[in-house]
Amino acid sequence: MTLTKTPESKALIRFQDCDPFNHLNNASYINYMINAREDQIKECYNLDIFDLAKSKGVSWVVGTNQIAYIRPALLMEKVTIDSQLIQFTENQLQVEIRMWNQDKTEIKAILWSTFVHFNLAKQKKWKHDQQLIELFQNVVVPISATSFEERISQFKPQKV
């Protein structure tokens, strides 16, 4: 079975998530992007993080988020959100999530999230098991940028 390395999904920007200018509220970008990623990994990798927490007592907690707002997402706009695992260690994941316009010709925002694998009962960092490591090895898509700022510059339009 070939795994999708960069899954994507669609979302509609809703009224309750917008500011008075009909732009998606800054904090809401993260909600849309993380919710899309959760759905994508369940659908594409059969990885249900909530079931994993219940059955094995492990999950991931957010360690850091870095987000760049490049163009506004507007009220009732259909957007495409894609994501990819860009690197991993024995107990961390780094994921890049991008929000685009519907046809992916304009980038709206880019989010880098670092997730720490965590044992809920012991309340401490936990190593990924071999099955997870194998999944990550099969889906990781490393990027050339060595910093978030460098990565953002790869998406911003060049000034003439």
User: How high is the mean pLDDT of the chain?
Assistant: 96
List Cβ neighbours of 140 (8 Å cut-off, separation of 6 or more): 5, 84, 85, 86, 87, 88
- Count Cβ atoms within 10 A of the Cβ of residue 40 and give its class: 0-12 exposed, 13-18 middle, 19 or more buried: buried
Where does the pLDDT of residue 3 fall: very low under 50, low under 70, confident under 90, or very high at 90 and above? confident
Residue 53 has pLDDT above 80, yes or no: yes
pTM given for the model:
0.95
Give the integer Cα–Cα distance in Å for 96 and 64.
12
pLDDT at 156: 79
Residue 160 has pLDDT above 60, yes or no: no
Region 24-37: what's the mean pLDDT?
A: 97
